[in-house]
Amino acid sequence: AGGVAAMAEDEGLVSVDYEVSGKVQGVFFRKYTQGEAKRLGLVGWVRNTTHGTVQGRAQGPAGRVQELQEWLRKVGSPQSRISQAEFSNEKKIAALEHDDFQILK
């Protein structure tokens, strides 16, 4: 398969959960993640965990969600040091389940 049909297929809405490890707390990681997600037009959330990681969920067009996944894997906030980014529960969704992209406490 390929071509235009595959492209249209890719632009369906997806939801993915993520958890990023490394030096990702106290470095404005959540704020930057929110900014990047909003720039990409995604919805979802991000929060710090008690075990030093940052986790969240992103939802939106598949291609945009992939861009955020790459960003979470390689870029992050300026002072962050990402050692690992794990993604789970990736699935197609019929509609967005969040209104915007929030930082949760």
List the beta strands (DSSP E) in the chain: 13-23, 43-48, 54-61, 81-92, 101-103
With a cut of 90, say whether residue 15 has pLDDT above it: yes
- Whose tokens are 């960003």? That residue is 71
Q: Cβ neighbours of residue 50 under 8 Å, at least 6 residues apart?
A: none
- Whether the predicted model's global pTM rises above the 0.75 cut: yes
What pLDDT, on a 0 to 100 scale, did the predictor assign at position 105?
87
Contact 29, 77 (CB under 8 A): yes
> Is pLDDT at 10 greater than 80 in this prediction?
no
Which has the closest alpha carbon to 14: 55, 56, 59?
A: 59
Catalogue the active-site residues.
30, 48
Domains of the chain, each with CATH number or no CATH: 13-96 (3.30.70.100)
